[in-house]
Amino acid sequence: MPSLETARTYLRPFQPSDVQIAHEWLGDPEVMRHIPGGSLTLDQTAERVSRYIAHEIRRGFSKWLIYETASNMPIGDSGFFTLPDRARVELGYRLRKSHWGKGLATEVSRAWLSVAHDWYGLTEVYAYALPGNTASLHVMQKLGFAYSHLEDIYEVEVPLYKLQLGGQ
């Protein structure tokens, strides 16, 4: 199974048996507060994990499970996923609350961006965050994303941000 390592974490693709663990943050209203649709039921988490697995098979990339290396504990998910137009690609990140505020989303995102071109041939990446999501907007800013435009995504109008990778 492929994996991605950072200083404090490692990531791997989702497996069907990950539903219960992922529900610990996908089912948490506080974690999902700024995400269109809000927190998920267990059935919706199962559907989401299936979608991540199917996307990995179909497109060769997807959201992966993040483990904290020191504790070997799953702490969130992050990765690339196609926007609804199935052409453009977004970078997403989400952590359980206990792991917020330690620079982990930035660390994981930087690792993704460093392999985006070589592994997946990406030359540009999008990300979105609702205006109140200060932490996420801050992460994007640190990564160098620039505001692009407003767009209806997942039935909600969201500001899209864009990062040019330049094919390096």
Ligand X SMILES: CC(C)(COP(=O)(O)OP(=O)(O)OC[C@H]1O[C@@H](n2cnc3c(N)ncnc32)[C@H](O)[C@@H]1OP(=O)(O)O)[C@@H](O)C(=O)NCCC(=O)NCCS
Contacting residues toward ligand X, per CB under 6 A? 31, 34-35, 93-95, 100-106, 129, 133-136, 138-139
Q: Return the number of the residue (83 or 135) whose C-beta is nearest ligand X.
A: 135
Query: Are 98 and 30 a contacting pair, CB within 8 Å?
Result: no
Residues in the chain: 168
Q: Return the number of the residue (121 or 156) whose C-beta is nearest ligand X.
A: 156
Q: Return the number of the residue (108 or 116) whose C-beta is nearest ligand X.
A: 108
**What distance separates the 2 farthest-apart alpha carbons in the chain?**
41
Return the bridge partners of 147, or none.
161
Query: Are 95 and 111 a contacting pair, CB within 8 Å?
Result: no
Q: Return the number of the residue (44 or 133) whose C-beta is nearest ligand X.
A: 133
Residue 87 is classified by DSSP as S
In the complex, minimum distance from the CB of residue 33 to ligand X, in angstroms, rounded to a whole number: 7
One-character DSSP codes across 90-126: EEEEEE-GGGTTSSHHHHHHHHHHHHHHHHH--SEEE
* Gap between the Cα atoms of 1 and 13, Å rounded: 8
In the complex, minimum distance from the CB of residue 139 to ligand X, in angstroms, rounded to a whole number: 5
In the complex, minimum distance from the CB of residue 151 to ligand X, in angstroms, rounded to a whole number: 14
In the complex, minimum distance from the CB of residue 6 to ligand X, in angstroms, rounded to a whole number: 11
Q: Return the number of the residue (16 or 131) whose C-beta is nearest ligand X.
A: 131
